[in-house]
Amino acid sequence: MLKTGAVCIVLSSLLGVSEAEVITIEGTLTSVDATARTITVDVDGERRTLDVSRKVKVTVSGKGARLNRLRAGQKVKLSYHDDLEIVLRVNVGGDDQTLSLFNGRNLQGWQFHGNGRTQDHWKADSQRRVLICSGTDYNWIETDQRFADFTLHLEWRFVPGHQITRSGSGVVVRSTAPISDGNMPNGVEIQIGSGTSGDFFALETPLRTSEGNALGDKLIRLQKTSSAERPIGEWNQLVVQCEADEITVTLNGVTVNAATRAVTVPGRVCLLSQGSKTEFRNINLAPLSSGSVAK
Neighbours of 9 (CB within 10 A): 13
Q: What range does the domain containing 70 cover?
A: 13-92
pLDDT(232) > 80: yes
226 and 105 within one domain = yes
pLDDT for the residue 44? 82
103 and 59 within one domain = no
pLDDT band at 71 (very low <50, low <70, confident <90, very high): confident
19 exposure class (CB count in 10 Å sphere: 0-12, 13-18, 19+):
exposed
268-273 vs 278-287, strand pairing mode:
unpaired
In a domain, 3, yes or no: no
280 and 208 within one domain = yes
110 and 60 within one domain = no
- The residue from 92, 126, 144 where one domain ends is 92
Per the structure, the count of domains in the chain is 2
Full 3-state SS string of 52-113? EEEEEEEEECCEEECHHHCCCCCEEEEEEECCCCEEEEEEECCCCCCEECCCCCCCCCEEEE
- Residue 170's Cβ-side half-sphere holds a number of Cα atoms within 13 Å equal to 29
pLDDT band at 147 (very low <50, low <70, confident <90, very high): very high
Between CA 76 and CA 214 the distance in angstroms is 38
In a domain, 112, yes or no: yes
268 and 134 within one domain = yes
pLDDT(13) > 60: no
pLDDT band at 94 (very low <50, low <70, confident <90, very high): low
Q: Looking at residue 64, which CATH number applies to its domain? A: 2.40.50.320
pLDDT(35) > 70: yes
In a domain, 1, yes or no: no
pLDDT(9) > 80: no
87 and 211 within one domain = no
160 and 45 within one domain = no
In a domain, 51, yes or no: yes
- Quick check: 280 and 133 in contact, CB under 8 A? yes
- Quick check: 39 and 52 in contact, CB under 8 A? yes
pLDDT for the residue 2? 45
